[in-house]
C-alpha cells in the first residue's frame, strides 16, 4: 500500500522523487522533494496538447499532473512531464466515471491553444468504435530458404513460437519468446544470428 501511495499520488503531485526503473522492476527507492526545487509557477512554461495524443506538462503544475494521470499514461517524468492518451488510460478514466466530454473539456482547458482536431477526432472514434489498431513489439524470424522454415514450423520444439507467417521465409515471433525459440533452433541444429536481441 505504501509503495502504491509513493509511486502514485505522491509522485504525481511532485512530493517525492523516484529512482529509475531498472530491468522492469520499477522504482526501488525514493526521496522527498525539496520545496525549493519545485516553484509554484514558472514563467514561459505552459502545458501543450500535441496532435500525436501526447501532453507536455510543466513539472510545477502538480494539481494538473494529478488530474492528467487519471486519464493519460505517464511516459517520461522530467522538468516537463510527458503523458500519452491510450486505450488503457481512457478505460481507466471510464472506470472512474470520467466520460469523454469531461476528458475533452479538461484537455481543452489545459492550454490557451485550441485542442488539436486529431485529438478530439481520435478520442471520439475510440469511444464509438473501440480499439481498431494495435502496435506490438515482435521479433522477425528470417531464414535462408523455405525448406528451413518448413523444418521450424513442423517441429514441436519451435513451431509453438511462430505467431504468423509473412511469407515462406519470414515469420513473426513474440518478443518474449525469442530466447526459447533460439534454444529450440539449437536443438534442431540451427545457429541463429541474434542481431541486437542478445543486448535487449
Instruction: Give per-residue pLDDT as tens, 126-144.
Output: 999 999 999 988 999 999 9
Lowest-pLDDT range, 57-66, 86-95, 115-124?
57-66
Instruction: Give per-residue pLDDT as tens, 2-20.
Output: 666 556 666 655 556 665 5
Q: Is the pLDDT of residue 150 over 70?
A: yes
Instruction: Give per-residue pLDDT as tens, 76-85.
Output: 888 889 999 9
* Structure confidence at residue 181 as a pLDDT band (50, 70, 90): very high
For residue 139, give the C-alpha cell.
521479433
How, if at all, do strands 48-49 and 16-18 pair?
A: unpaired
The DSSP secondary-structure symbol of 153 reads: H
Give how far Cα 87 sits from Cα of 27, 66, 95, 147, Å.
24, 19, 12, 41
Q: Is the pLDDT of residue 124 over 50?
A: yes
This prediction's pTM: 0.67
Amino acid at each position: 500500500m505504501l509503495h502504491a501511495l509513493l509511486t502514485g499520488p505522491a509522485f504525481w503531485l511532485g512530493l517525492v522523487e523516484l529512482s529509475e526503473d531498472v530491468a522492469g522492476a520499477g522504482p526501488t527507492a525514493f526521496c522527498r522533494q525539496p520545496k525549493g526545487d519545485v516553484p509554484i509557477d514558472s514563467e514561459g512554461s505552459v502545458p501543450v496538447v500535441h496532435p500525436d495524443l501526447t501532453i507536455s506538462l510543466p513539472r510545477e503544475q502538480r494539481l494538473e499532473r494529478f488530474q492528467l494521470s487519471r486519464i493519460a499514461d505517464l511516459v517520461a517524468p522530467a522538468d516537463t512531464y510527458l503523458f500519452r492518451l491510450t486505450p488503457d488510460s481512457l478505460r481507466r478514466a471510464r472506470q472512474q466515471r470520467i466520460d469523454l466530454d469531461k476528458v475533452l473539456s479538461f484537455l481543452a482547458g489545459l492550454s490557451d491553444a485550441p485542442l488539436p482536431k486529431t485529438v478530439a477526432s481520435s478520442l471520439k472514434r475510440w469511444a464509438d468504435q473501440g480499439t481498431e489498431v494495435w502496435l506490438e513489439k515482435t521479433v522477425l524470424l528470417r531464414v535462408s530458404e523455405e525448406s528451413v522454415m518448413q523444418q521450424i514450423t513442423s517441429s514441436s520444439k519451435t513451431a509453438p513460437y511462430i505467431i504468423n507467417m509473412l511469407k515462406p521465409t519470414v515469420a513473426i515471433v513474440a518478443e518474449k519468446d525469442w530466447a526459447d525459440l533460439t534454444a529450440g533452433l539449437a536443438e534442431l541444429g540451427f545457429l541463429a544470428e541474434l542481431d541486437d536481441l542478445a543486448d535487449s
